[in-house]
Amino acid sequence: MGAFLFAGLIWPAGGSGAILLSATITRVIQMDKKPFQNCLLTPRQMARADALAVQAGIASIDLMENAGHVVTKAILARFEPCETLVLCGPGNNGGDWFVLARLLEEAGWPVKVALLAERQKLKGDAAINAARWHGDVVAITPE
């Protein structure tokens, strides 16, 4: 039995259900000075929230690390360790998933990573977190 992470969805192999786990819904935002966790934001709203956090002095790499920690915590609370494939995209959301892969492996999970790009083409924080992943990465490209 294993689990597959795809586009923010975790699906235990052989399981009967899936859980949406996305960095977008796990980040903390503040509205009217009251913290809300697990708010679902549109991509535009999330980009704005990230930009405001960076303007306030929070490094974007820290936002990515925090998102990975929250998603990892949610997975560890719901599932037993199992073989897991983490599918990373080429942008910063893919960087979130590299954090997740690293943290799951540190928690003793057998993790494999597939990347919808070539690793050397990653930029910014996604490239930094890809470099922090010391396991193999299978590139999935159209060629």
* Lowest model confidence (mean pLDDT) among 10-14, 40-44, 51-55, 62-66: 10-14
Q: What mean pLDDT comes out for the span 30-34?
A: 37
* pLDDT higher than 60, residue 102: yes
pTM, full prediction: 0.73
* pLDDT higher than 90, residue 108: yes
- Residues of the chain with pLDDT > 90, as a percent, come to 34
Rounded CA-CA distance 34/89 in Å is 32
Q: By the 8 A CB rule, do 104 and 70 touch?
A: no
| CA count, 13 A, side-chain hemisphere, 139 | 11
Token pair, residue 136, equals 């193999």
pLDDT band at 141 (very low <50, low <70, confident <90, very high): confident
